[in-house]
Amino acid sequence: MAPDIRPCDATLGAVVSEIALGELTEPQWQVVEAAFHEFAVLIFPNQHLTDAQQIEFGAHFGRIEQLVADRNIVPISNRREDGSLLADEAHGMQVMMGNEGWHTDSSYMPLAAKASVLSAHVVPESGGETEWADMRAAFDALDASTQQQLQGLAAYHSLYYSQGQIGHVVKPGAGYGFHTQHTPRRPLVKRHPVTNCPSLYVGRHAYGVGSKDGSEMLDEIASAQLLDDLVSFACQPPRIIQHTWTPGDIVVWDNRCVLHRARPYDHREARVMKHTRIAGEPDSETCLPKTA
């Protein structure tokens, strides 16, 4: 059966049904991959994949990035295995609360992410939705002189920086996403390696804007203001979609051209999600070379 693809009422996103991702055939994968490049976010309701099936689905997109050593799937969850809930002060909870700011995954790693696959297992009564914003349409909506100005700029990306902004101070070497090498710099405008479309590449991990060659830097306030203004402008209708999760749903998004964020919920309720991240391609997702 051919998958049914319904575009969302926005510049990105589609809901895909009439497909069982656990038994994906080659012709169906071709359809999914083409839709992924066109819509950047694909929502697959009612899949109920096992961990192994989610990993297998993720592996169609490329090499799985191990967020935690030897794990191809990680819980994004406020519930421990014994059923107790994490306190807001817990390290893992602070990282998840950081997800409530617009971001793209692994931009703070030397090799940024290509795609992320997220599944819902336990959802709160209300809140806890996820939103995505289209950075291709955002770039297109800028005036030509701003587009040109941005083409010459780059920013540092750091999870220490973004977590610091919400008051979470992390010691170097804390694990998952907390790099131990130099902080990557990335251009503010990214060209998609498949579609060749330019998109804004910003989000909460970005700071310290300067010229691409690193010879000129904006001052801290001007840099923060520029990045804030770009995210505020970009993450507006018709460039955003929101998904209210039902257990069993799977979403895959293209980190190279969308931002995403989690919405708040009451932390006295459980929210259990599982994440599989696909590493970018070295040719297109490697950070800029370190400047002297």
Binding site for ligand OGA (CB under 6 A): 76, 99, 105, 116, 118, 130, 260, 262, 273, 275
Round to whole Å and give the CA distance between 267 and 129: 13
Name the closest residue to ligand OGA (Cβ).
Answer: 262
Nearer to ligand OGA, 22 or 101 (CB): 101
Contact 245/120 with Cβ under 8 angstroms? yes
Please state the closest distance from residue 176 (CB atom) to Mn ion, in A: 12
State which residue, 28 or 102, has the beta carbon closest to Mn ion. 102
Q: Which does 131 bind (CB under 5 to 8 A by kind): Mn ion, ligand OGA, none?
A: none
Here's the x/- map for Mn ion, 108-127, by CB under 5 A: it reads as --------------------
Task: Say which entry of Mn ion, ligand OGA, none residue 223 contacts (CB below 5 to 8 A, set by partner kind).
Answer: none
Of 5 and 278, the one with the shorter C-beta distance to ligand OGA is 278
- Asked whether the beta carbons of 240 and 131 are under 8 A apart, the reply is yes
Q: How far apart are CA 42 and CA 24, in angstroms?
A: 15
Q: How far is the CB of 255 from Mn ion (least distance, A)?
A: 8
Nearer to ligand OGA, 155 or 252 (CB): 252
Strands 113-122 and 272-279: antiparallel
Closest CB 251 distance from ligand OGA, rounded Å: 9
**Please, which residue, 73 or 155, has the CB nearer to ligand OGA?**
73
Q: Which is nearer to ligand OGA, 128 or 210 (CB)?
A: 128
- One residue of 65, 105, 134, 254 binding Mn ion per CB under 5 A: 105
Residue 276 phi, psi (nearest 5): -125, 130
State the Cα–Cα distance between residues 137 and 141, nearest whole angstrom. 6
Cβ count near 45 (within 10 Å) = 15
Task: Choose from ligand OGA, Mn ion, none: what does 262 bind? Cβ within 5-8 Å by kind.
Answer: ligand OGA
DSSP state of 263: P
Cβ atoms of residues 187 and 153 within 8 Å? yes
| Whole-Å CA distances, 26 to 2, 54, 58, 118, 280 | 12, 16, 14, 22, 22
Query: Which parts of this chain interact with Mn ion (CB under 5 A)?
Result: 105
